[in-house]
Amino acid sequence: MVWSKEQMAARAAQEIGAGSIVNLGIGLPTMVADYLPADLGVWFHSENGLLGMGPFPYEGDEDSQIINAGKQTVTIVPGGSIFDSAASFGMIRGRHVDLAILGAMQIAANGDLANWAIPGGKVMGIGGAMDLASGAKRILVMTTHVTNKGEPKLVERCTYPLTAKGCVNRILSELAVIDVTPEGFRLVELAPGVSEAEVRQKTGAPLAV
């Protein structure tokens, strides 16, 4: 049994320490917020200029001028604050954000991350991805273990354009939790019922245990 998206979000939530500042990337990482105990004292940072981001607003309460970096309507929790983009990226670059949870297209055994462009594909832009990947204190990647064509996303060397070099600390896929160490990928945890052999077969680089 592989982890469902919800189970992955719940597992990722265990990576978040009490009282930390966390930036959640667009897509799957956004779901992690739903699995955190309210009393953990975690503050969500959104790079468009909001610290203390809350859940989606109740129907009828949405405000087009209160959005997250994915341009979705959100709320602001008590204690939240608003600032300009220069201050916001100063928080990221200045190592004030404890953890960023990002998506990935490829992760290399040396921690290189590629998550903004596919060679020959439609250019979507960089946004805050490079700043977050190189600036947050710790990077957790949440991703499917292989592409929709079945190719490994965990590779020896990235062939897609890099987002940042040597930035990834830990990877959470539907199959396993894997750390990036100075020696390469190391298996930390398997999803229930998933075999080490399956993870190894779907990983494009050596995997230590």
Partner 1 sequence: MRDADADAGAAKEPRYLPRRMSLATASPPTGRHQHKVVATVEEALADVKDGARIMVGGFGLSGNAEALIAGVVKKGVKDLTLISNNAGNLGKGLNAWLEAGIVRRFIGSYIGTNEALHRAMAAGTVEVEMTPQGTFIERIRAAGAGIPAFFTPTGAGTVVAEGKETRVFDGREHVLESALHADFALVRARKADRFGNLRFYRTARNFSPVMCSAASVSIVEADEIVENGAIDPDDVHLPGIFVHRLLEVREHEDAFEYRNTRKRPA
Active site residues: 47
Residue 4: CB minimum distance to partner 1, A:
20
Query: How long, in residues, is the chain?
Result: 209
Smallest gap from Cβ 91 to partner 1, in A, equals 10
Question: Please, what is the minimum distance in Å from the beta carbon of residue 70 to partner 1?
Answer: 7
One-letter amino acid at 45 equals H
Long-range contacts of 14-19 (CB under 8 A, 24+ apart): 15/99, 15/101, 15/140, 15/170, 15/172, 16/40, 16/42, 16/99, 17/98, 17/99, 18/42
Interface map 83-112 toward partner 1 (x if CB under 8 A): xxxx--x--xx------------------x
48: left (phi over 0), alpha (psi -120 to 50) or beta: alpha
Tell me which stretch binds partner 1 (CB under 8 A): 78-86, 136-144, 148-156, 174-182.
78-86
Nearest distance, CB of residue 2 and partner 1, angstroms: 27
The residue (of 70 and 103) whose beta carbon lies closer to partner 1 is: 70
Burial letters 28-58, b for 16+ CB under 10 A, else e: bbbbbbebbeeeeebbbbbbbbbbbbeeeee
Touching partner 1, residues 132-161 (CB under 8 A): 134-135, 161
Return the residue of 4, 17, 27, 63 that touches partner 1, per CB under 8 A.
63
Q: Please give the Cα distance from 145 to 157 (Å, whole number).
A: 16
Q: Decide: is 15 part of the binding site for partner 1 (CB under 8 A).
A: no
> Which range binds partner 1 by CB under 8 A, 5-13, 16-24, 45-53, 140-148?
45-53
How far apart, in whole angstroms, are the C-alpha atoms of residue 187 and residue 170?
A: 10
Joined together, the tokens standing for residue 86 give: 């220069």
Site residues for partner 1, 150-209, by CB under 8 A, read: 161-165
The single residue among 27, 40, 56, 157 that binds partner 1, judged by CB under 8 A, is 56
Which is nearer to partner 1, 132 or 154 (by Cβ)?
A: 132
Residue with tokens 């190894």: 200
Using CB under 8 A as the criterion, which residues of the chain lie in contact with partner 1 when the complex forms? 46-50, 55-67, 69-74, 76, 82-86, 89, 92-93, 112, 122-131, 134-135, 161-165
